[in-house]
A and B are shown apart, each in its own frame.
Chain A
Amino acid sequence: MALNFELVTPEKLLRSEEVHMVVVPGSEGDFGVLERHAPVMSTIRDGAIQIYATPGATPEMIKVEGGFAEVNDKGLTILAEKVVDED
């Protein structure tokens, strides 16, 4: 059970991996995306994406500024305008 997660910035493809869950800071509230999530398209506000590699794991945080999240049958794609010191 894994969610295909991609994080892309204008400069490059930052992440492309299988994870358990990603919590996206949507402009109308955070939402968690698991595998087989219904298709959604949402703008995101400045905030941190939380990536859970496995259930119950400590989430990895990536701060992003502005962008889009798209969920389709292939997985979650986040098009972030900017990523603040990714590590």
Chain B
Amino acid sequence: MASLKELKDRISSVKSTQKITKAKQMVAAAKLRKAQAAAEAARPYAERLETVMSSLASGVSISKDTPKLLAGTGKNQKHLLVVATSDRGLCGAFNANIVKEARIHADKLKAEGKDVEFYLVGKKGKPVINRVYPGSIRHHFDTSEIKNPEYDDAKEIAEDLVARLEKGDFDVAWLFYSKFKSALVQEPQTQQIIPVPVDENADANSKVAVEYEPDEEEILSELLPRNLSIQLFRALLENSASEQGASMTAMDNATRNAGDLIEKLTIIYNRSRQAAITTELVEIISGAEAL
């Protein structure tokens, strides 16, 4: 049995851990509200852009001049996996879930004989991916300086991706992030971002003669990079909301566990203290009786 002193130290150490997890939980709860509002505010734009995109993309026939973002490079060999994670820990299985999703996909692609490379956003996915797929990380986009993701950050990533596509670094790009459903539920998502997946059913209701100004191709070539930035922006926002949600839940659990542990340790502490007192009393009494 541990000595009283040891128990006391244990209790105080668990107590200070609990303080940390509780603080982190409260911070996450406050940040969550903000991140969630940002993610929700960004939805209308993404939704509207999506409708515009699909009505436009379904109307354009694919030719040699069609932008690569829509038509692809014509090959399907090199896949780039854009994995967006957070920069901080203490958020439960949040990052692990995203990385797991990416690994499943990467293994599937590898089994099909494709080349797989990674483009990381946020640093928490790096160690795992580096270990499992050594040397396949193409680029790491550092987001540690970014507190709240802004559109310009997403744009920067998008421009980088487009430049890489033009260079022929990859043929198909996938995006991995976590979709925010609620503070308790975050769903890891796999999404093809390059080339843009065209919804085959979309052209049914786009029969209205629309005038394009300038012409369709020019609009498309301007709209496609923007669409990419928006998808990335949305991923970043969803991710930050998810991170805070996951963090809040994880820290809530941790705080509760710490509370349970403190309770248990306190009982043990009191019992052994009681036992020590009893032994002492017995010793004194039997000593007095012997006289």
Contacts and interface: CB of A to CB of B under 8 A. Distances in A.
Interface of A is mostly: strand
Interface of B is mostly: helix
B218 interface: yes
Nearest to A81: B226
Contacts of B230: 10
Nearest to B218: A43
Interface residues of B, number: 27
A68 B45 CA distance: 11
Nearest to B47: A8
B239 to A, nearest CB: 15
A11 B212 contact: no
Interface in B28-64: 38, 41-42, 44-45, 48-49, 52, 56
Interface in B181-223: 208-214, 218-219, 222-223
Interface in A9-37: 9-13, 26-28
A43 B44 contact: no
Contacts of A50: none
Contact of B211 (A12, A41, A73): A41
A40 interface: yes
B214 A11 contact: no
B45 A79 contact: yes
A73 B210 CA distance: 11
B45 A70 contact: no
A19 B135 CA distance: 57
A82 B212 CA distance: 22
Contacts of A82: 151
Interface in A40-62: 40-43
Give the one of A6, A11, A27 with max B CB within 10 A.
Answer: A11
Contacts of A6: 48
B52 A13 contact: no
Interface residues of A, number: 24
Contact of A73 (B45, B208, B219, B229): B208
B176 interface: no
Nearest to A82: B151
Contact of B48 (A11, A26, A39, A77): A77
Interface of B: 38, 41-42, 44-45, 48-49, 52, 56, 150-151, 154, 208-214, 218-219, 222-223, 226, 229-230, 233
9 A-B pairs closest in CB distance: A12-B41, A42-B213, A13-B44, A10-B151, A39-B210, A8-B45, A40-B211, A10-B45, A39-B208
Interface of A: 6, 8-13, 26-28, 38-43, 68, 70, 72-73, 77, 79, 81-82
Given A11-B38, A41-B52, 13 more contacts: A10-B42, A10-B151, A11-B151, A12-B44, A39-B209, A39-B210, A40-B212, A40-B213, A42-B213, A42-B219, A68-B223, A73-B208, A81-B151
